[in-house]
């Protein structure tokens, strides 16, 4: 299982908060919430699910580096593409060093 930290999210309203928790569970491969942590079945998720997680993290300004663990040989070409809006947030540390690819 994979545990994604959503702590510190700031919501615009109660309905906004409700939507985050509901939307996340609509993503294929997500299992449940454990307080501020989203539990995902595996690092092997579909492209659609990964794109949905990227969008959710982006919308709620959640630190995206934790998504790097979902990189694999099937998605690396689009997921690691430098032109994508998430690239820097997912694959570069705060010091500007690139995070290594998964084997």
Contact 98, 92 (CB under 8 A): yes
28-75 pLDDT, tens per residue?
Answer: 999 999 999 999 999 999 999 999 999 999 999 999 999 999 999 999
Give the CA radius of gyration of the chain: 14
* Residue 88 binned pLDDT confidence (cut-offs 50, 70, 90): very high
Q: Distance of alpha carbon 18 from its chain centroid, rounded? A: 18
* β-bridge mates for residue 5, sequence order: 37
CA distance 79 to 59: 18
Query: What are the sequence ranges of the domains in the chain?
Result: 2-91
2 φ/ψ angles, rounded to the nearest 5 degrees: -120, 135
CA distance 53 to 16: 17
pTM assigned to the model: 0.88
């Amino acid at each position: 299982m994979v545990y994604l930290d959503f702590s510190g999210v700031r919501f615009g309203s109660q309905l906004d908060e409700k939507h985050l928790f509901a939307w996340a569970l609509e993503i294929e491969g997500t299992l449940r919430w454990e307080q501020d942590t989203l539990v995902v079945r595996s690092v092997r998720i579909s492209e659609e699910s990964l794109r949905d997680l990227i969008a959710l993290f982006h919308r709620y300004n959640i630190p995206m580096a934790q998504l790097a663990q979902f990189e694999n040989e099937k998605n690396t070409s689009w997921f690691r593409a430098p032109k994508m809006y998430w690239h820097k947030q997912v694959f570069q540390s705060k010091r500007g060093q690139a995070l290594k690819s998964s084997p």
